[in-house]
Chains A and B, each alone.
Chain A
Amino acid sequence: MKTDVLIIGGGPAGLSAAIETASRGLDVTIVDEASQLGGQLNQQTQVLRPLPSVYEPMRGFELANKLIEQIKGFNVRLLLNHRVVGFYADGSAGITDEENVFPVKAKKIIVASGAAEKAVAFPKWTMPGIMTIGAAQTLINRDFVMPGKEAVIVGSSDFAMETAIQLMDVGIRVKAIIEKQSGALAKEQEKASELSKNGIPFYFNSFIKEARGNGQVEQIDIELPDEVITLSVDLVCMDGGRAPILDVFYQLGCSFGFQEELGGWVPQYNHTLQTGREDVYLAGNAAGISTQGPLLLTGMIAGISVSEELQAISPAEANEMREALWKELGLLEDKEVYSGRIKHLENFTSPLLKDQFIS
């Protein structure tokens, strides 16, 4: 199979890159291991803001539908329930439908592989009933399943607060928010105060000492600053933050740099979102952990750069659009993340890790 642009990942960044490239007449292929486009947006019921100026604020799944609707009119081939498993010597991607593997030769590749949630380790954290906040959200909003009846949340980021509210809304009793720092980390203070108003205790400077249960979590011990308390719970949702998913970049031989603000190890890239490999671009959380608005913007930037390389738009036009998008990114993105991004761009010519397989 041949295609102009192969987009790995059909979440918000991959879809916005697809819109930019396919709308200019390029032949685009999207591969995603899920059975549905939209990535994590599909189970996000919260209202997303700020979004790029072309979108008004809307809920995550509404945004997914909107993006999917937009690519419908264009020449986009979908390989859902498919995975990239490696690359051939000639640069073709090896793609599997879980039965056979076949090569796809693309002129340019945009990797929008997203992020994975990290764990918070404590004794017995691997027991059933203990899961990431993202998993709990998926169960409620995609599968329509109650992940438990009585829960604690480990962590107090915006995402953790949002998930706690969504758990409560379906009738799960949230018994405590456990945070090892001395205050709530959420930037949107209203969410934390909504939870305290509902009588949910925040335990600061605290952590789970141990979980217990027979085949699934039943009890946890929480180490508070001056005592240890025990709670009966059947659900522990942990927020360990997120890190970019890098597998494909290792296989492609891209170079990496370490950038704390972007979530740790991130492939090197320049202002066109081109990686250390000329034919490979990246977008979304793979380019550094961020919020949905900026994820869309990076997808647009990568899409425009690839369109320019494949001569679907002029360099002058591409430059102008890219500059406007970077400006908008600077306005929408969290200040720390954005400055991490700028630092990361500056390191493009001096990558820390190159030609190494560390996966």
Chain B
Amino acid sequence: MHIEKHPVLGRQLHKPVTIYFNDQPYQAYTQQSVAAALMANGIKKLGVSRKLVQSRGLFCSRGRCCSCYMTIDGEDHVRSCLTEVEEGMRIYPNMDDPEVRREIDED
């Protein structure tokens, strides 16, 4: 759930955007992180751990624990708690080891 009216900060949610998680559309607001926006839509499982394949979600929301890796707009292994949502963003869970990044403009 998004907090529409905060007891101290009042109304703060301004610009709604649509993001896509596993190709499904969800509503978010521009100042939110990807991990937070997904949580507002009831999605807490952001991926699985690489070794024991256990569910992982947001833990520190500070960019320190790396529990929130996701694939965002084609880039693997991005900390979703530090990435702000953008209109039309495509987000996928982190289900295994990322592909090693290659030079993109090498055709």
Contact = CB atoms under 8 A, between A and B. Distances in A.
Interface of A: 33-35, 45, 59, 61, 116-117, 119, 126-132, 134-135, 138-147, 169-170, 215-216, 245
Contacts, number: 109
Contacts of B31: 142-144
B29 interface: yes
Interface in B81-96: 81-82, 84
A146 B55 CA distance: 20
Interface in B54-83: 54-64, 67, 81-82
A146 B40 contact: yes
A131 B62 contact: no
A135 B59 CA distance: 7
Contact of A143 (B7, B37, B56): B37
Interface in B23-55: 29, 31-33, 36-37, 39-40, 44-46, 49, 54-55
A132 B81 CA distance: 13
A130 B67 CA distance: 11
Contacts of A216: 44-45, 55, 57
B9 A141 contact: yes
Chain B, interface size category, equals 35 or more
Residue among A61, A131, A135, A139 with the highest chain B CB neighbour number at 10 A? A135
B102 interface: no
Given A34-B82, A145-B1, A145-B3, A139 B39 contact: yes
13 contacts: A33-B63, A126-B54, A131-B59, A135-B61, A139-B39, A140-B3, A141-B9, A142-B36, A143-B33, A143-B40, A144-B2, A146-B40, A170-B6
Given A127-B55, A135-B81, A142-B36, 6 more contacts: A33-B82, A45-B9, A132-B60, A138-B36, A141-B6, A145-B3
